Structure 1
């Protein structure tokens, strides 16, 4: 027995849908790293707190693969899910909005208000399979344009985990004078072969779904939700630690089902089905492809003399935090960043939850955030004219 998501176009935000707490900025055309131009770029974003007159209190929060700009807050009209980092942003929180101006954007290529495959191309039809290949650098370039539009010359702190950690590290290496402090959680300086290997079957599952239709499924009443669900099952398994899964589910059959030849499921299968169905209700398969391939492109050393040279050129405060039980972004990858750049801080998040520990262990993450915010910025971190 397999849970099958409802057929449909998936959950993408379109103009005319409830806005919620989103704001929007039109950035014009964006020149892409691999060549060509993405026209008419728009980013959706949310803010908390007030920007100081000097603009020196701005913080950028970077979301992971299937996140969006809604870092904290309730689900409701305009927001398909509650905030994904509850308790981290607000009055008296680690990112204290009585002092800080916090910004979070839906990443370029996403499906919750920013330009992505479900957005209309200049011909008035959704981009679909025509949407160009993006890199992490392209996403950061769009965010830099957003910062310009908001009047933010330099970030007091940029932080994020997983794909958000990739963008954080790219900010520090591509815009080093605009980032005073960078906190990279559960991420690496470059995508590893193991990460790319886990990603490949996810991409294939979506593209080989008969409902994928070359990526042009919008408005057809069909979407590759089966493939997206398979991709999520694979990914979610890598996000959690194997001992946690064994402790929680063991070999228990689902209540009322018989997996021994009767077509029933084990509890762990039901759990993965649940997460697959949840994602299909709120995320777009094309965005999943675009963002996953952007993650595969991640390499801060590309064209910069290698990772070590790129990291050492960053003059600000760099701190990395790895999750001890992370099997997708193992702790050694955070340790490699710390070794590559003298003076880099390193924290270890203790968690039974694997990679998702950076989302779950809020007390530990909050303490690391406060430590980074209290760090003294080296005097060689220059000003932006």
Structure 2
């Protein structure tokens, strides 16, 4: 008989409480997750994939909300770089999100109404602790690997630091060990755009009338940071959008303007504005060295994991220098670590797009896991 804890589109309510970095606790905790592949009898073949800011648990299966393929379907599956014939892959929607896990849109059991802005402010480490509760529920004592890109990479680092005996390998892609002032600044522009929308209503907007304009602008600003100048120039240049001449007005004259507007509008159909505030805040608070006395190497002193750090040469959101800092800290801690900078014209988003070089790195790193 199939184990009811495993299979697509699962959701579990855990009693908690979950102690939070910001003080207080959260209970109960609802976690939406998906699994692919079978858990080995000894439970040692589990791989946790951690998703980025606006992604979800639908890593290799179509999203029921958008109908689009899983965001990493090219990487996860039978015979693919993360081989589900070999590994049991787990992907959970992060705490604070709006795709089934506890977040500001969830019902507060104390009031019977959505938490909205009364939901506690969370950290990346809180997200990881919630994932650990799920892993406990699934009966997995240790993870063969934790894999993540961008915010997912932050979670992978936090897993190795927070649960050093439970992670045997960590693959960190296009990520960082802390948010810089520039990272925080871009997020603050987005948050202020949301909160300036008259329909935000202090976070108590009805589901049928969200602050769509503000959230769309936030998404547009963030999306620019995911791309590269070379990629934008190659794709759009200064080409006009469906016209032969400039309008000398404020419509979307340029293709790049139309593209960003489309990105903003499509985003508001699938994401909650308050969740965007909470998750970007969690990313801004992320500083792994600060959590360990101010020295990044100390975060990895007790880790039993081996690490692979991957960056992209056109990623200016989390540039290669940030990855090198992680590698230096791992070396100082005596942790086994490999590092590769890949070439791509696509900027930060390269880890989500077709990248044979990245696929080879993933398959090679996980292929040596026993």
Residues 254-263 or 271-280, more deviating:
254-263
User: How far is 1:98 from its partner?
Assistant: 1.1
Cα pair 1:118 1:218 within 8 Å, conserved: no
Deviations 1:296-327 (A, max 9, x none): 01111223122121134323101110011001
Q: 2:325 aligns with which of 336, 357, 375?
A: 336
Higher relative contact order (CA 8 A, sep 6+): 1
Matches within 5 A, 1:92-103: 92-103=79-90
Cα pair 1:317 1:375 within 8 Å, conserved: no
Distance 2:279 2:318 in 1: 17
**Mapped pair 1:111 → 2:98:** yes
Q: TM-score, length-normalised on structure 1?
A: 0.89
Residue of structure 2 equivalent to 1:33: 21
Residue of structure 2 equivalent to 1:168: 156
1:246 aligned counterpart, secondary structure: helix
Residue of structure 2 equivalent to 1:13: none
Q: 1:155 aligns with which of 139, 143, 146?
A: 143
Counterparts in 2 of 1:172 and 1:103: CA distance versus 1, 3 Å: same
Cα pair 2:176 2:326 within 8 Å, conserved: yes
Residues 270-279 or 357-366, more deviating:
357-366
**Mapped pair 1:239 → 2:226:** yes
**Mapped pair 1:63 → 2:51:** yes
Gaps of 5+ in 2: 1-6
Deviations 1:25-58 (A, max 9, x none): 1122211111111121110000000001100000
Distance 1:205 1:156 in 2: 41
User: How far is 1:222 from its partner?
Assistant: 1.7
Q: TM-score, length-normalised on structure 2?
A: 0.93
Matches within 5 A, 1:208-287: 208-219=196-207, 221-256=208-243, 259-265=246-252, 266-287=254-275
2:176 aligned counterpart, secondary structure: coil
Cα pair 1:323 1:357 within 8 Å, conserved: yes
Deviations 1:42-77 (A, max 9, x none): 1000000000110000000011000000001234x4
Residue of structure 2 equivalent to 1:309: 298
Cα pair 1:320 1:338 within 8 Å, conserved: yes
Matches within 5 A, 1:77-88: 77=64, 80-88=67-75
Distance 1:311 1:260 in 2: 57
Counterparts in 2 of 1:72 and 1:233: CA distance versus 1, 3 Å: same
Residues 203-212 or 25-34, more deviating:
25-34
Q: 1:368 aligns with which of 336, 350, 361?
A: 361
Cα pair 2:96 2:122 within 8 Å, conserved: yes
**Mapped pair 1:120 → 2:114:** no
Cα pair 1:108 1:116 within 8 Å, conserved: yes
Residue of structure 2 equivalent to 1:327: 316
Residue of structure 1 equivalent to 2:4: none
Gaps of 5+ in 1: 1-19, 378-385
Cα pair 1:70 1:79 within 8 Å, conserved: no
Distance 1:230 1:322 in 2: 28
1:200 aligned counterpart, secondary structure: helix
Say what the alpha-carbon RMSD is for the aligned residues.
1.6
